[in-house]
Chain A
Amino acid sequence: MIFLTRAFLSVIRNFRKSCIFFFLVLILASVISTTIFINQAVTDTWLHLQRNLPPIATVKLDIEAWERFNDETGMIHDINLRTDLIHKIAALPYVKEFDYFSSGIFYNPHLIPYKDSAVNKNTSLDVAFLEKFWLVQGVQNPNLLDIQEERIELVYGRTFTVTEMNHLSMVILISETVAHLNYLTIGSTVQLRNIVFDNMDGENRIFAEESYTMEVIGIFRPVSGEKNGENLQVLENRIYAPNHFVELAQIFQNEQQQNLNESGDMMNIQGANLSLENRFVLYDSQQFLPFKVAVEEKIPPQFRVVDIENAFVDVYSALMTMDGMTNIILWVTVGISILFLSLLITLFLRDRRREIGIYFTLGEKKHRITIQICAEVIIIAILAIITALFVGFFISSILSEHILRSNILVEQSIHSFHELPFYGLSFHGSVIFMFLGVGVGTILLASIIPVMYVLGLNPKKIMM
């Protein structure tokens, strides 16, 4: 009977002890596997985020810096980066693509908007009046960054062409819901009125007006992650048009506002160009720093350059918190496992002193006795570790969701990128390999003290 057969017989015949050892290893290995699964998921998530984040930078208004700058100069400075500056930045060698979005508000009392009852119930605004105004989002990139960022998807028609972008084209994209509510299809036309109101006597009187007939060339649908409350309502009622059109409409607004002001009426409704966002796609995310330095030389002090990863900083810190917690739990559990298992194996071996003495008396080689003991431990431990792999996967899926949900920072951030789409526990090879490595390594370390105990036994004292 070879020593490995002895090990197998010992495991089978000492069933009660084998079960105790199995369950202890199972519990400890489950904790280890849980932490490894969470750890790996956190690492994967962050790597996935980094891989999937395009090297995008934006130039944003820093409100505090703006207020400070205004106070220092006694002037009110621009809150939007001028388009000529955007083009100058876009000309930098680091920039692969760029886009900026000007937006304007246009009047159409006949177009029926999408209404979210929950959102409108909580507002005290004159909804009936506001519903007649439509937010037109100007875009510079013909492929629409909102489609590329998967906020919306094109369901019918097409996006803009370069020609439409560079020339004044009366073309728009509307949402599927708005199209449905207003019986609009590809090729339908929509009237958009660019109005400057004069409300000198408390009534909204039209001071100046331009009307545009816009052709629907594309119909989009918000993606599932955006289907919540206010966000959805804004997206559904959004109209996309080329920047060029929105800018010209703004020029008309500004000119007429000036005329209105010169006529002495300071009370008027502000029109187009509420905000101007920009996006610069760099060739490489490593170029962010030199890009930032180059841009900051060109822009006024109220603006700052931020990279897109800043949008995920809360998620990153939450993920790192989870990573840190699981790391601590992992190594503490490994330590406790080594201690407890060492103790348990030694106690079980104490009960088997006579058996070990028999092997010594029969002249068994010490290394074979050592291998037999390790084999017995490994046979049970492997079964427990494999079971723990599944138990740990199950626990980690519950725990990680609980941890993520309980973290306020992440609660806020999750909405910003569609319920953490990349976070996922997986059974891939590296996780299994790592867990088996840590598990078997822990068991072998825990066997050192018991093996030393066995090797230190004196057969004469045991047997005689």
Chain B
Amino acid sequence: MSLLRVEHVVYYFQDGVKQRYILKDISCVFERGTFYTILGASGSGKTTLLSLISALDTPTSGKIYYEEKNLMELGLENYRRNHVGIVFQQYNLIPYMTPFENILVAMGITDNKLPMSKQEVAYNLLDYIGITKDKAKRTINKLSGGEQQRVAIARALSTNVDVILADEPTGNLNEEMTEEIVEIFKNLAHKHNKCVIVVTHSNTIAKKSDIIYRLNDGYINQE
């Protein structure tokens, strides 16, 4: 049983009288313990596919299954709350809160059970991704881009979900930071049995992933 299955997904939007197809017929599967990259040029529909997998949008046709349950039946909000964590290129952290509080916000929303108290989980995660306790108490805008992205990853992990989705997570980071972030993703997949799906246009990152899906002209191919 696959963790996540995309089946004949089509996505288009209406542009006047014309229908502009972004995704024409997408089918793919994602398993636990694997680091996936979805590669493609700008405008190939990478982010659209990610928004569908993360249930921020719904396909025009086709279905997406999580543990063989259709996302529509599972409930998009419920799926986002309990089964998937998302990391964005722009980090998307709440700016007036500290890293610690940003993580607590996510943990306050999920229904998932946590192995320890919320405070302990938050500090452990921040420690795991290399944010010290001192930095954990600063407001977000006092952290560097790399540190903010680490906090975003910690937040995605904090809800104890199986699927981690990342949209160009290293787009705003330098090479060294990129290396570190990719290493974190690999560890999450291989050591913590997570399904990590990273959308990127970078071949360097793609080469470090276990499976590469390439999006081209609205279709997907596994390399």
Contacts and interface: CB of A to CB of B under 8 A. Distances in A.
B154 to A, nearest CB: 13
A21 interface: no
A363 B94 contact: no
A463 B88 contact: yes
Interface string A101-132: 00000000000000000000000000000000
A75 interface: no
B79 A363 contact: yes
B108 A361 contact: no
B106 interface: yes
A6 interface: yes
Interface stretch (A8-16, A30-38, A53-61): A8-16
Interface in A338-391: 354-355, 357-366
A293 interface: no
Given A362-B80, A364-B109, A9 B101 contact: yes
A423 interface: no
B51 interface: yes
B43 to A, nearest CB: 13
Contact of B86 (A2, A13, A361): A361
B57 interface: yes
B67 to A, nearest CB: 17
B77 interface: yes
22 contacts: A2-B108, A3-B108, A5-B108, A13-B96, A13-B139, A355-B94, A358-B105, A359-B105, A360-B56, A360-B80, A361-B80, A361-B92, A362-B106, A363-B77, A363-B109, A363-B110, A364-B77, A364-B109, A459-B56, A460-B57, A463-B56, A464-B88
B80 A363 contact: yes
A365 B109 CA distance: 8
Contacts of A361: 54, 56, 80, 86, 92
Given A361-B80, A363-B81, A354 B101 contact: no
A366 B80 CA distance: 13
A456 to B, nearest CB: 15
Looking at B82, B88, B96, B105, the one whose CB has the most chain A CB atoms below 10 A away is: B105
Interface of A: 1-3, 5-6, 9-10, 13-14, 354-355, 357-366, 459-460, 463-464
B96 A364 contact: no
Given A364-B81, A464-B167, A1 B108 contact: yes
Interface string B114-146: 000010000000000000000000010000000
B187 interface: no
A87 B62 CA distance: 102
Contacts of B211: none
B77 A460 contact: no
Interface residues of B, number: 32
B81 A464 contact: no
Nearest to B54: A361
A362 B97 CA distance: 16
Interface string B85-110: 01010001111110001001111111
B20 to A, nearest CB: 16
B47 interface: yes
Nearest to B155: A362
A361 B101 CA distance: 17
B105 A354 contact: no
B166 to A, nearest CB: 12
Given A355-B94, A363-B77, A365-B77, A464 B56 contact: yes
A312 to B, nearest CB: 59
B202 interface: no
Contacts of A360: 56, 80
B78 interface: yes
A453 to B, nearest CB: 19
Contacts of A364: 77, 81, 109
Contacts of A14: 96
B7 to A, nearest CB: 21
A464 B107 contact: no
Interface string B166-205: 0100000000000000000000000000000000000000
Contacts of B86: 361, 463
Interface in B49-87: 50-51, 54, 56-57, 77-82, 86
B75 to A, nearest CB: 9
A363 B78 contact: yes
Contacts of A10: 96
B109 to A, nearest CB: 5
Contacts of B109: 359, 362-364
A128 to B, nearest CB: 88
A185 to B, nearest CB: 83
Contact of B97 (A13, A357, A460, A463): A13
Nearest to A12: B96
A361 B57 CA distance: 11
